[in-house]
């Protein structure tokens, strides 16, 4: 037990509180979906008043942002749990598959992060950075493929963004109800994955 000044202990108390509030909000998100993540419901779960949340997070976006960062961590772990394969093509395909799985296992996180569930929430510098970090496995895989000459040299970040954005499009239209059946959506997704990877891998020198 450290000896702490009042200010230090106060800060730590605030930090603990922040953490438990984020956890409560995350629980509501998982159990009841994004539309149920309201300041009052979080306050009710914490058995406290809404004022505390505003003191600690400034506004709702401040709380949503932390859920966004949590989601980035989960996404990152999803990518990390993909077994690294020698075959670059297969590895990239597995990463794409993991992204689909993430959207299926954590649809509420997905809606919050990329689906516009909180249309007033716009990611800022740090959230965008966290997203890039979550996609790091992807970026390094592409970079390595370039070094090995499997993909023509260009900006690996742009390559990842092209892949990410287009995969996201399929998931988003699916979650939004524009592509009803899950099988149809997966068919489109797999088709797209194959085409994209082939497109990049066929750009070998001499082709």
Partner DNA sequence: TTTAATCAGAAACACTGTTTCCGATACTTT
Partner DNA sequence: AAAGTATCGGAAACAGTGTTTCTGATTAAA
List contacts with DNA (CB under 7 A): 6, 10, 14, 17, 36-41, 48-52, 54-55, 59-61
SS3 166: helix
Positions touching its own copies (CB under 8 A) are 34-35, 111, 114-117, 119-120, 122-123, 128, 131, 158, 161-162, 164-170, 172-173, 176-180, 184, 187-188, 191-192, 195-196, 198-200
- 128 interacts with, out of its own copies, DNA, none, CB within 5 to 8 A per kind: its own copies
Question: Which of its own copies, DNA, none interacts with 66 (beta carbon under 5 to 8 A by kind)?
Answer: none
The Cα–Cα gap between 191 and 81 comes to 23
SS3 at position 38:
coil
Q: What distance in Å separates the CA atoms of residue 174 and residue 101, rounded to the nearest whole number?
A: 13
Contact partner at residue 117 from DNA, its own copies, none, CB < 5 to 8 Å by partner kind: its own copies
Which of DNA, its own copies, none is residue 64 near (CB under 5 to 8 Å by kind)? none
- Collapse the DSSP code of 70 into the 3-class scheme (helix H, G, I; strand E, B; otherwise coil) and give the result: helix
**Short-list 206, 203, 169, 205, CA closest to 89:** 203
Nearer to DNA, 39 or 201 (CB): 39
Write down the least CB distance from residue 17 to its own copies, Å.
29
Give the shortest CB-51-to-DNA separation in angstroms: 4
From residue 201, how far is each of 82, 113, 146, 168, 181 by CA, in Å? 20, 30, 10, 21, 30
Q: State the Cα–Cα distance between residues 160 and 120, nearest whole angstrom.
A: 26
Shortest approach of its own copies to residue 203 CB, angstroms? Answer: 9
């Amino acid at each position: 037990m450290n000896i702490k000044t009042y200010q230090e202990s106060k800060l730590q108390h605030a930090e603990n509180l922040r953490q438990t509030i984020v956890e409560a909000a995350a629980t509501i998100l998982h159990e009841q979906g994004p539309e149920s993540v309201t300041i009052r419901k979080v306050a009710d779960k914490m058995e406290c008043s809404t004022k505390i949340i505003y003191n600690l997070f400034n506004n709702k976006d401040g709380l949503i942002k932390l859920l966004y960062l949590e989601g980035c961590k989960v996404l990152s772990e999803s990518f990390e749990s993909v077994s690294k394969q020698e075959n670059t093509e297969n590895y990239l395909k597995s990463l794409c598959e993991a992204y689909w799985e993430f959207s299926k296992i954590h649809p509420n996180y997905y809606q919050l992060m990329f689906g516009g569930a909180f249309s007033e929430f716009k990611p800022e510098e740090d959230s965008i950075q966290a997203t890039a970090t979550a996609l790091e496995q992807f970026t390094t895989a592409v970079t390595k493929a370039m070094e090995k000459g499997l993909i023509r040299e260009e900006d690996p970040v742009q390559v990842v963004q092209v892949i990410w954005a287009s995969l996201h499009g399929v998931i988003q239209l699916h979650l939004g109800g524009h592509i009803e059946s899950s099988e149809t959506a997966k068919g489109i997704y797999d088709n797209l994955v194959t085409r994209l990877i082939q497109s990049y891998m066929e750009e070998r020198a001499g082709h």
